[in-house]
């Protein structure tokens, strides 16, 4: 009897100790296919779905998906700094469903990292990852496909985004950024989307070692207001109706696009730059191979935009190399 009472007391105590951690203070929260959302999201007693884990985890903590499963049933709202990952060897699935985003990040100053996740469309969807408010978003080793709106949508004011080793395919836009978002994309594959890369209205994006393939627009760099600054380096830009488009649409807007060491092939138009009065569109082309396009480089608008070249781009097998304007020499320094 005494022994039983002691065990009961220990059990009660253990429950007491476990309780506070379960209520928003876990450094790591765990989810697994066999978990239960009534569990405390500990390793021993994992939860089932992301919302429970997000409630249980402390700000700045981690959520581990322990095995291969889907981990949400509706939009996942993130309002604290957190890293969400599937452990290596597990497929951590999140669906965008019920006309919503898969993951919506929406609280001031938070820093969110998403690693080794697969985000797919189910029935009716909006965006894969919607970075609406926050300070940092890191996306790594993820695959996002089929969502009806945008794969990764970054509009958070002042947001700093990195995306690496990630695939976005079959969406309306693979990566979209606007306003004061600054983004760095490395080893990203954007294919079969309506628009692959879609930075607009003041955002700043760097892309390296990536593949933009088979989108209707591989890259559509725009500004209706603000200055959009984009650099694409060492990437393959192929198989689009529109390869890389740089355009302004309203007075005061500007686009600066730097293209270096890329292979721009098999597009209807390779590089297309346009501007309207009172705006600036400038492109630099450095050591690109621009081949097999309907037209390699297209100027349009009034006045015409400026496309600088170091005189070191290789253009061949285009129906026409340059149309609508002339390249401007840029001396090396």
- Positions that interact with another protein (CB under 8 A): 33, 68-70, 86, 88-91, 95, 116, 120-123, 143, 145-146, 167, 169-170, 189, 191-192, 209, 211, 213-214, 234, 236, 238-239, 261, 263, 265-266, 289, 291-292, 309, 311-317, 321-322, 327
Distance CA 59, CA 254 (A): 39
- Cα–chain center distance at 154: 7
From the list 156, 180, 176, the residue with the least C-alpha distance to 168 is 176
- Nearest distance from C-beta of residue 279 to another protein, angstroms: 25
Nearer to another protein, 97 or 104 (CB): 97
Nearer to another protein, 187 or 222 (CB): 187
Nearer to another protein, 201 or 220 (CB): 220
From the list 42, 33, 36, 98, the residue with the least C-alpha distance to 68 is 33
- Nearest distance from C-beta of residue 216 to another protein, angstroms: 11
- Nearest distance from C-beta of residue 287 to another protein, angstroms: 8
> Could you tell me if 269 and 242 are in contact, meaning their C-beta atoms sit under 8 angstroms apart?
yes
- Nearest distance from C-beta of residue 201 to another protein, angstroms: 29
What's the Cα-to-Cα distance from 49 to each of 38, 65, 79, rounded to whole Å? 10, 9, 16
- Nearest distance from C-beta of residue 49 to another protein, angstroms: 14
Nearer to another protein, 41 or 315 (CB): 315
Span between the terminal Cα atoms of the chain, in Å: 88
Helix, strand, coil: what percent of the chain each, to 5? 10, 55, 40
Residues in the chain: 333
- Nearest distance from C-beta of residue 274 to another protein, angstroms: 20
Distance CA 315, CA 289 (A): 6
Nearer to another protein, 54 or 167 (CB): 167
Q: Which residues contact 256 (CB under 8 A, 6 or more apart)?
A: 227, 228, 229, 230, 280, 282, 283
Nearer to another protein, 19 or 312 (CB): 312
Distance CA 144, CA 163 (A): 12
Nearer to another protein, 224 or 268 (CB): 268
- Nearest distance from C-beta of residue 59 to another protein, angstroms: 29
**Residues forming a β-bridge with 167:** 143, 189
- Nearest distance from C-beta of residue 89 to another protein, angstroms: 3
DSSP code, position 22: H
- Nearest distance from C-beta of residue 28 to another protein, angstroms: 20
Nearer to another protein, 111 or 209 (CB): 209
With 0-12 / 13-18 / 19 or more C-beta atoms within 10 angstroms meaning exposed / middle / buried, residue 73 is middle
With the CA atoms of 74, 75, 77 and 78 taken in that order, what torsion angle do they form, in degrees rounded to the nearest 10?
100
CB atoms within 10 A of CB 89: 9
Nearer to another protein, 203 or 293 (CB): 293
């Amino acid at each position: 009897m005494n022994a039983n009472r002691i065990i009961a007391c220990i059990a009660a105590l253990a429950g007491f100790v476990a309780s506070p951690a379960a209520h928003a203070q876990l450094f790591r929260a765990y989810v697994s296919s066999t978990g239960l959302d009534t569990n405390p999201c500990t390793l021993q007693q994992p939860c089932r779905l992301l919302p429970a884990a997000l409630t249980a985890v402390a700000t700045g903590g981690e959520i581990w998906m322990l095995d291969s499963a889907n981990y949400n049933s509706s939009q996942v709202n993130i309002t604290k700094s957190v890293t969400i990952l599937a452990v290596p060897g597990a497929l951590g699935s999140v669906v965008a469903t019920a006309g919503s985003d898969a993951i919506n990040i929406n609280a001031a100053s938070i820093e969110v990292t998403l690693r080794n996740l697969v985000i797919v469309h189910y029935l009716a969807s909006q965006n894969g990852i919607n970075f609406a408010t926050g300070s940092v978003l890191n996306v790594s080793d993820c695959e996002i496909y089929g969502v009806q709106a945008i794969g990764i949508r970054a509009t958070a004011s002042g947001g700093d985004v990195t995306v690496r080793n990630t695939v976005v395919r079959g969406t309306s836009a693979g990566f979209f950024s606007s306003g004061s978002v600054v983004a760095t994309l490395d080893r990203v594959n954007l294919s079969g989307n309506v628009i692959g890369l879609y930075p607009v209205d003041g955002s700043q994006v760097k892309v390296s070692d990536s593949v933009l393939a088979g989108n209707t627009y591989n890259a559509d760099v725009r500004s209706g207001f603000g200055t959009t600054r984009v650099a694409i380096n060492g990437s393959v830009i192929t198989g689009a109706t529109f390869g890389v488009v740089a355009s302004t649409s309203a007075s005061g807007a500007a686009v600066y696009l730097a293209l270096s060491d890329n292979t721009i092939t098999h597009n209807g138009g390779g590089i297309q730059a346009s501007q309207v009065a009172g705006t600036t569109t400038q492109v630099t082309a450095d050591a690109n191979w621009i081949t097999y396009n309907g037209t390699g480089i297209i100027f349009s608008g009034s006045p015409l935009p400026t496309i600088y070249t170091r005189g070191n781009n290789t253009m061949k097998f285009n129906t026409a190399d340059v149309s609508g304007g002339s390249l401007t020499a840029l001396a090396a320094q």
